[in-house]
Amino acid sequence: MKSIHTPYYVLHIVTSLLSVLLLLGINANAQKFEHLAQTPPMGWNSWNHFGCNVDEKLIRATADAMVKSGMKAVGYEYVNIDDCWHGERDKQGNIQADPKRFPSGMKALADYVHKKGLKLGIYSDAGWTTCGGKPGSRGYEFQDARRYAEWGIDYLKYDWCATEGLNAEGAYMTINRAIREAGRPMVLSICEWGDNDPWEWAAPLGQLWRTTGDIYACFDCEYDHGTWSSWGVLQILDMQDGLRQYAGPGQWNDPDMMEVGNGMTQEEDRAHFSMWAMLAAPLIAGNDLRNMSKQTTEILTNKAVIAVNQDKLGIQGFKYKAKKGLEVWFKPLANGEWAMAVLNRNNHDSKFEFRFRHEQVSDELSKRKINFNEEVFTWRDLWNKENTGDTKAFIKQNIKRHDVLMLRLVPAGKWER
């Protein structure tokens, strides 16, 4: 009987056997492109704002806006198409872009994005279908990776819907191997929502892994979908506790894409962006870049905050203390510098006071310490750059509800006795 499905069955058997062998320990050759994402990836993704409403016109316009807005100039480079770009597979099993939404094809779109000095990302799923019901990569992993390489894709977000019977580590080993064999360096974004503790096994396979379920544009909320929930900024921030030791150059905890510009207040957007910077999280914008307000643009292009996120040490920040709804965070930076953030979780403005000489900061992970009685730091407010000082004096400041105070501390020398 003539059947167009034969290539699928062959590939499914091969990839299933490969996953089993890898899980049995024959994974010594599992490796990724090591030079990628040495600092947290920066870019944009279509899902948060547009969902399944994606087409090539939107992606081209977004690439244009990333350049025009100044985002490219401060480090954003990936333009990532999320779910629902897919058409049907052809008779050979090759995945195709939806011809109505992407009539020029993915290769032409990648060429357009590359000419802008940017990189193009795409989405697939380890299961039979994507979360949006489009064709998944299960059984087609190697074929799809070759296809993406032919198109010139630079980044693959790989989701975890419709994965019944699959082992997460094995499935991501398979797509890792497929990308390697395709020969084109691609960032692999592992997106199984932290359900299988990816921080314990994902570093050799991908450059970033989701640590939580999906974010949505609320600062302090849970959206109950029945069998799963979407989470607000504070909820996702709290879920990062205990994970910082797994992050570093080329391997990042991913608390999901940002919601800056998607309906929260200016203060909430600023706090959201600041805390993702402190977490050394990927800075993947999720708003409509074509129609940003001046305030949103200024938040997303704040060079001083981005510099904290992109610090070459790649150390994730940590919560130093919390009291009465105010959290104080520190992040070790290169050259003996530190970032400090004070997050106001309260639903009201709060007075903050920090007497540096009464504090000693110690980070077991980086083996870095600050004794403010022995060393003086100058500091600059990263959102209000006219606000400066040093650690000889104490800080006393009012912080608006759901806002943040963010400082960069630079060594100024020893205390003069």
Asked whether the beta carbons of 264 and 258 are under 8 A apart, the reply is: no
Is the pLDDT reported for residue 395 higher than 90?
A: yes
Residue 392 within a domain: yes
Asked whether the beta carbons of 63 and 80 are under 8 A apart, the reply is: no
Asked whether the beta carbons of 204 and 56 are under 8 A apart, the reply is: no
Catalytic-role residue among 144, 214, 311, 363: 214
Based on the fold, state whether residues 104 and 232 are members of the same structural domain.
Answer: yes
Give the confidence band of 414 by pLDDT, cuts at 50, 70, 90.
low
Q: Where is the domain boundary, 309, 341, 372?
A: 309
Burial code of 289-327, b = ≥16 C-beta within 10 A, e = fewer? beebeeebbebbbbebbbbbbbbebbbbbbbbeeeeebb
Is the pLDDT reported for residue 1 higher than 50?
A: no
Q: Which domain holds residue 337?
A: 318-414
Based on the fold, state whether residues 278 and 376 are members of the same structural domain.
Answer: no
- DSSP class of residue 9 equals H
- Percent with pLDDT over 70 in the chain: 92
Based on the fold, state whether residues 283 and 335 are members of the same structural domain.
Answer: no
Indicate the residue type of 194.
G
Indicate the residue type of 237.
L
Based on the fold, state whether residues 304 and 345 are members of the same structural domain.
Answer: no
Average pLDDT over residues 352-376: 95
Based on the fold, state whether residues 126 and 182 are members of the same structural domain.
Answer: yes
Residue 1 within a domain: no
Read off the pLDDT of residues 3-41 as tens digits, 9 standing for 90 and up. 333 343 444 444 444 444 444 443 445 689 989 999 999
Q: What's the helix, strand, coil split of the chain in %, to 5?
A: 30, 25, 45
CA distance 218 to 201: 31
Based on the fold, state whether residues 367 and 227 are members of the same structural domain.
Answer: no
Please confirm, yes or no, whether 381 is among the known catalytic residues.
no
Based on the fold, state whether residues 300 and 344 are members of the same structural domain.
Answer: no
Is the pLDDT reported for residue 297 higher than 60?
A: yes
Residue 253 within a domain: yes
Is the pLDDT reported for residue 124 higher than 70?
A: yes
Is the pLDDT reported for residue 306 higher than 90?
A: yes
Read off the pLDDT of residues 112-121 as tens digits, 9 standing for 90 and up. 999 999 999 9
Beta strands in 21-107 (DSSP E): 42-45, 78-80
Query: Total structural domains in the chain?
Result: 2
Please confirm, yes or no, whether 159 is among the known catalytic residues.
yes
Specify the CATH number for the domain of residue 194.
Answer: 3.20.20.70
Give the confidence band of 405 by pLDDT, cuts at 50, 70, 90.
very high
Specify the CATH number for the domain of residue 360.
Answer: 2.60.40.1180
Based on the fold, state whether residues 203 and 272 are members of the same structural domain.
Answer: yes
Based on the fold, state whether residues 296 and 324 are members of the same structural domain.
Answer: no
Q: Tokens standing for 319?
A: 């919560």
- Percent with pLDDT over 90 in the chain: 91
Q: Write down the pTM of the prediction.
A: 0.92
Based on the fold, state whether residues 372 and 305 are members of the same structural domain.
Answer: no
Give the confidence band of 415 by pLDDT, cuts at 50, 70, 90.
very low
Based on the fold, state whether residues 264 and 380 are members of the same structural domain.
Answer: no
Q: Where is the domain boundary, 309, 339, 365?
A: 309
Least-confidence region, from 15-29, 332-346, 372-386: 15-29
Per-position DSSP letters for 194-228, written without gaps between them: TTT-GGGT-TTT-SEEE-SS-B-S-SS-EEE-SSS
Read off the pLDDT of residues 163-204 as tens digits, 9 standing for 90 and up. 999 999 999 999 999 999 999 999 999 999 999 999 999 999
pLDDT the model gives residue 30? 66
Mean pLDDT of the chain: 93
Is the pLDDT reported for residue 87 higher than 70?
A: yes
Residue 87 within a domain: yes
Q: How many Cα atoms are found within 13 Å in the side-chain-facing hemisphere of 105? A: 10
Q: How many Cα atoms are found within 13 Å in the side-chain-facing hemisphere of 291? A: 5
Catalytic-role residue among 159, 254, 256, 288: 159
pLDDT the model gives residue 34? 87
Based on the fold, state whether residues 40 and 61 are members of the same structural domain.
Answer: yes
Is the pLDDT reported for residue 270 higher than 90?
A: yes
Average pLDDT over residues 393-416: 89
Q: Where is the domain boundary, 309, 338, 353?
A: 309
Least-confidence region, from 124-128, 156-160, 240-244, 384-388: 384-388
